[in-house]
Amino acid sequence: MSVLSWGRSAAGVRRALRRSSSRPRAAPEEGTLDGFWGRRRSSSASPCEQDRRKDWGHAELLEVLQARVRQLQAEGESEVSVKRVEVARLSEGECQLPRKMEGQLCGRWAEKLAKEKRTMQKRKQRLQVKLQARAQQLDHKLQPRPLRLEPQLASGQLSSFLRRKAEESPESPWEEQLARVLQETPQKRLHKKQVPSDREAEAQLSGQQQKLLAFLECSLVSGHLPLAHHVLVSYHSRPRMRKLLTIPMYNTVMLGWARKGSLKELVYVFFMVKDAGLAPDLLSYAAALQCMGRLDQDANTVRRCLEQMARDGLQLQQLFTEVSLSREEQAMVLRAVAQAEPTFSPPPQPPPQVNTSTLLKEVYTKDGPVSYPKLHLPLQTLKDLFQQQLHVELTTRVHVQSVEKAPSMTKEMLQARKTLKALRVQWEAALRRALQEAKASLAHQAHEGRPTLYPFLCLLSERELVRMLMQVARSQGESLVVVAKDLGLRAFNRHMVQQKQLSSQVQALQQRYAQYLHLLASDTPVATPCLPRQYWEALGPPEAPPQQPWPLPVLMQLGKQLAELLVQAVRMPLDLAVPGGSSKLIPVLYHVYSFRSYRQIGILKPHPAFIELLVTAAEPRLTFETVDMPMLCPPLPWTSPHTGAFLLSPTKLMRAVEGTTQHQRLLEHCPPSNLHGALDTLTQLGNCAWRVNGQVLDLVLELFRDKGCSRLGVPPPPSEAPRPRESHLPPGAPPARKAELRRELASCLKVAREMHSLRADALYRLSLAQHLRHRVFWLPHNMDFRGRTYPCPPHFNHLGSDLARALLEFAEGRPLGPHGLDWLKIHLVNLTGLRKRDSLQARLAFADEMMDHILDSADQPMAGRKWWMDSEEPWQTLACCMEVARAVRAPDPAAYVSHLPVHQDGSCNGLQHYAALGRDSVGGASVNLLPSELPQDVYSGVAAQVEVFRRQDAARGVRVAQVLEGFISRKVVKQTVMTVVYGVTRYGGRLQIEKRLRELSDFPQEFVWDASHYLVRQVFSSLQEMFSGTRAIQHWLTESARLISQAGWAVEWVTPLGIPVVQPYHQDSKFLVKGGLQSITCSSSRDTSQKPNTLKQKNGFPPNFIHSLDSTHMMLTALHCYRKGLTFVSVHDCFWTHAANVPVMNQVCREQFVNLHSQPILQDLSQFLVKRFCSSPSTRRQSPSQRVLTTKLLETLLSVPKTGALDLEQVKHSTYFFS
């Protein structure tokens, strides 16, 4: 420090410096006194008592310090006046300086201070210059870089050509340059690589390429085309990054400039395409022609473009058949083409393709009687319902009143709600600020040439994003991965809805749907009956090409960014957590780590005080996404893999894990007519109208709001969760007691978590049921990769538990007719599970015997004899009791209009398909493929066979066989027999049997392990003996899949209805989303280019193939029932219809099973697999080991198992095939 150098000549100063240097001190701040003056005061010297020189030294030091203080206080003044400095009293004595010395000191120090002043001013000026320079640099750095439009080309020829063009006058035409650059030969790529077609390129894009392409596409949609062009130019200008660019990326930017009619920028992109060594494709030429059409270019320019396109091997007609353009874009392309070829007209729309499958011949024939059903609602009612559903989807969320028992209103509750309301206002403002800051930062990064999330955050308004985040802020804690994925999907769905709203698709949909309702309404006759899909397609082609979903890495990155903004911005006062605390703000959500199984995961956990605030407020409202709700109007008919179900919200035809693209690619490559059977089935299932069974709902709500009832499937509240007998142990408790308490606590915690999950699921279901109590609603459907159908709304549908099914009934009722009441009674007995081995007549007689109990259950369900509670399906039994009671008490039971669905269930349906495939007479008889007086129970048959083996082993002295005497029952073996057809292993079967044995109170538990091992072996042996043909087919499928996957392929096949199937089992491909709260590692098996998982492929093929057959049988039954005018829905192999229509459905069900298995299913499968996996690769390029594997695979695929002598026609006469 300079002030210390002034006093170096004074010995006292040197001593002071030595004393002060022995203590570490912080560097003082410029322009403050705390760093210097404060430290000196704390280390002032002792009074002078003996040494005069010490007094002089102190006096000199004080003089310096006081002068320095005056200098700092007078900083900025033009002159420095030095006053006389009196020496302060140091102690009891006083030290004074002689006047002569005083004057000398003042003159000397005045000179030194003036010199220091000049030095400080110079330093200050230099510092100000430096600060101004740094501020300018910072401002320059923070200001967005100017967006580059002109590319930097690697080719000297193209670069000089473009430079000459830039030197010409701005008015010179760019059309000439476009024609010339199109004629240029693409430059050689430094890294030679076969450029695949668009779809293959899209499938094989790396994660970085996917994000870049998504960024470019999103920039166009969000109105940031210059930014997309700038990033493309930045990538193209760097050789290492240029390798990532593909023709779809260049096409994306070209299409954006074409829509704006900006020919100059479009030519720049064409230069980059040629410079990158790529050849323009159909979409490239479509962009160029569209741009010229908007600018009304002369015929010569267009003609040269068309000639070059022809030289590249592309046909003009392909622009209108193979390129996805909107109608307006096609019109611009046609306008440009007309300049050069006035007589050209686009190829006409191809006639509707007709499905040629022999199985669907009767469905699509125009001959014969047709009785397609109509809805029971008039046209105007349906139009009103459409407007309501449209409003719901435009708002993207639905608020539903909770059915939890409302606590009494208290002062604390009102205060908590008031606090929450005030906090949410603050959170919304904080989230808006955080979003603005994040967008500004990401925009700056994008201007530096890096693809960021900026355009994705610009897709939705800040208000909409804040509303979406506020909805997530209500959650009770979830892993960051789940929150990020959920937020990314919500943002995408809202963006899709908004795009349709902005592009006038909503208005077009309103007009088209109003016409479509004429087919469904009860009061509008149709001249020519047809299927809903056919009627919708006849109304015109689709308005806009489908938009591809965002890649999974982009979804996760966007969701993670939004989740981090939520954690950063949402805060609450500390005094809410600590009464009497400060008003300091603390986070509401905390990012913590927790172990789940063996993995450590990050969790966003709300502050306990916030959870307590929510509990105290007891807000009576739940919020659901639109896609989680049933529809208020008939769904859109499925017409393609992209279009169907909800009005605006995007829905997948084939449901799959996010990021999986292989199924979608298969569907898009599949001929459209091959999907007609699946599309029409899904449309028909979705068109079934439902209503809530109010009587059952009232009873369930009564139990739910009380204490629940686990026995009846009504989860109890958390207050009923078990608690440990003692929460604290006395001092000195033994270790064994501590371990026991830990196990007890862990068990109670596990049960409490399970109860909470079940309670939340029931709360959602019952709240939705109450919300829809007086409404008619619809359940849109889609399918999984095997063709099995599922309702899209997850919380409230007919695929749920017994309780969920009992809450639903058909909105349209039908009179029972002469036999409907009998079918209601048989259905009632089937639900009880009491007469499974009896004939239908015996079941009907049993229902008549129990009529007193049935009526009592209907009249006094909670106060009577409660006969219905002992049923296997108690709530469905109760609903049926009420329906039977109303029917028998009606003046004319045959005229009673019934709304209750009646079920017909397959008899171990998987084994039925196996037996039919192998024509296995013995196995077929045991699963009711053959007529019999009484139903055959395969589970009892297996149990009997196992008992035979047990007796033989017990006689030989096998201990476990002796212990099992009297314990082998149908219940013990049922689950294993049921699931062995779906690929359960011996290990899984043993666990199933172990669980059943532990449920037997009188079975010696020390033998559970040995007994389960013994029984699973005997069950598999019994099935091998009873279903020899089934096991042979299962082995053939397993071995084929093993060899296919070892050869590097995923197993594929086509169902008899033409649905392409690929098994989605591959080695996981991991990608990392870096930064922020934590880095997220995600696993994805999205692509067939990844190595297949051999174990999952071989174990999954047999059950998945059988599932694809049972889905085919269901679809055939559904389509033929629809043609006959029946209402039909299904739960996989359980078919539902009105009681009056059960005989017709049973006939159709049997006929279609016979028709299905009359096809050479295994032979067709063998031929497809041979063609797919043994014919395409060239054996000359294979290694010797690969050729050996291919040869073995070919031999295995051709070795189709031999079949037996089962007569399938007998199925038509089997009463208990489905019953």
- Give the model's confidence band at 382: pLDDT under 50 very low, under 70 low, under 90 confident, else very high: very high
pLDDT value of residue 1176: 63
pLDDT for position 137: 67
Residue 185 — very low, low, confident or very high, per pLDDT cuts 50/70/90? low
Cα separation, 325 vs 575, in Å, equals 59
Say how far apart CA 873 and CA 712 lie, in whole Å.
9
**Residue 165 falls in the annotated catalytic set:** no
| Residue 764, pLDDT above cutoff 80 | yes
Tokens standing for residue 785: 């990769």
Evaluate if residue 41 carries a pLDDT over 50.
Answer: no
What integer best gives the mean pLDDT of the chain? 83
Q: At which residue do the structure tokens 């666990």 appear?
A: 991
Mean pLDDT, rounded, for 755-777: 94
pLDDT value at 222 more than 50: yes
In this predicted structure, which of 749-758, 981-990, 1167-1176 has the lowest mean pLDDT?
Answer: 981-990
pLDDT at 1002 over 50: yes
pLDDT at position 52, please? 44
Higher pLDDT, 1059 or 15: 1059
pLDDT band at 860 (very low <50, low <70, confident <90, very high): very high
The predicted model scores a pTM of: 0.84
Alpha-carbon span 899 to 902, nearest angstrom: 9
CA proximity to 400, closest of 697, 628, 614: 628
68 band by pLDDT with thresholds 50, 70 and 90: low
Q: Classify 899 as helix, strand or coil.
A: coil
Q: Does the pLDDT value for residue 56 go beyond 50?
A: no
- State yes or no: pLDDT of 167 exceeds 90: no
Structure tokens at 1091: 């190595």
More confident residue, 263 or 79: 263
With pLDDT > 70 as the criterion, what percentage of the chain qualifies? 85
For residue 917, name the pLDDT band (cuts at 50, 70, 90): very high
Instruction: Provide, rounded to the nearest whole percent, the portion of the chain with pLDDT above 90.
Output: 43
pLDDT confidence of residue 1152: 96
Mean pLDDT of 170-192: 56
Q: What is the predicted pLDDT for the residue at 31?
A: 34
CA distance 1103 to 1030: 12
Res 971 pLDDT > 80: yes
First to last CA, the chain: 100
Q: Express each pLDDT in 419-448 by its tens digit.
A: 999 999 999 999 999 999 999 999 989 998
Residue scoring higher pLDDT (920 or 70): 920
Distances (CA, A) of 994 to 939, 973, 1005: 17, 10, 10
Check residues 348 and 161 and name the one with the higher pLDDT. Answer: 348
pLDDT of residue 59: 52
- CA-CA distances (angstroms) from residue 656 to 490, 661, 1084? 17, 9, 12
**Which among 692, 1131, 699 has a CA at the least distance from the CA of 900?**
692
- Residue 657 pLDDT > 90, yes or no? no
Are the beta carbons of 1108 and 787 closer than 8 angstroms? Answer: yes
Nearest residue to 571 via CA among 458, 459, 423, 450:
423
**Average pLDDT score over residue span 1024-1033:** 83
Residue 602: closest CA among 748, 483, 444: 483
Sequence letter at residue 1176: S
Distance of CA 484 to the CA centre of its chain: 10
Task: Indicate if the pLDDT at residue 154 is higher than 70.
Answer: yes
Task: Tell whether the model's pLDDT for residue 639 goes beyond 80.
Answer: yes
Q: Evaluate if residue 1186 carries a pLDDT over 90.
A: no
Q: How far is CA 213 from CA 146, 193, 232, 263, 494, in A?
A: 22, 19, 10, 22, 20
State the Cα–Cα distance between residues 140 and 346, nearest whole angstrom: 53
Going by pLDDT thresholds of 50, 70 and 90, the confidence category of residue 188 is low
pLDDT score of 168 more than 70: no
What pLDDT does 11 receive?
A: 41
- Per-residue pLDDT at 205: 53
Q: Report the alpha-carbon distance of residue 858 to residue 449 in Å, rounded.
A: 72
pLDDT score for 66: 60
Number of C-beta neighbours around residue 94 at 10 A:
12
Known catalytic membership, residue 974: yes
Query: Are 1039 and 529 contacting, i.e. CB atoms less than 8 angstroms apart?
Result: no
Query: Which range, of 210-224, 785-799, 808-822, 968-982, averages the lowest pLDDT?
Result: 968-982
Where is average pLDDT lowest: 50-54, 408-412, 475-479, 755-759? 50-54
Catalytic residue (one of 761, 905, 953, 1212):
905
- Cβ-contact 44, 19 below 8 angstroms: no
The answer to whether 1139 and 821 are in contact (CB under 8 A) is yes
pLDDT at 1213 over 60: yes
Q: What pLDDT is stored for residue 569 in this prediction?
A: 92
- CA 573 remoteness from chain centre: 34
Average pLDDT, integer, range 953-982: 86
The answer to whether 720 and 708 are in contact (CB under 8 A) is yes
Higher model confidence: residue 26 or residue 300? 300
The position carrying tokens 């916030």 is 610
Angle formed at CA 883 by CA 879 and CA 886, multiple of 5 degrees: 140
Cβ contacts of 1063 within 8 Å, gap of 6 or more:
785, 1041, 1050, 1051, 1052, 1092, 1096, 1097, 1100, 1101, 1104
Which pLDDT does position 65 carry in this prediction?
57
Residue 3 has pLDDT above 90, yes or no: no
Which residue in 485, 652, 974, 1096 is the catalytic one?
A: 974
Q: Which of 486, 680, 784, 1133 is catalytic?
A: 1133
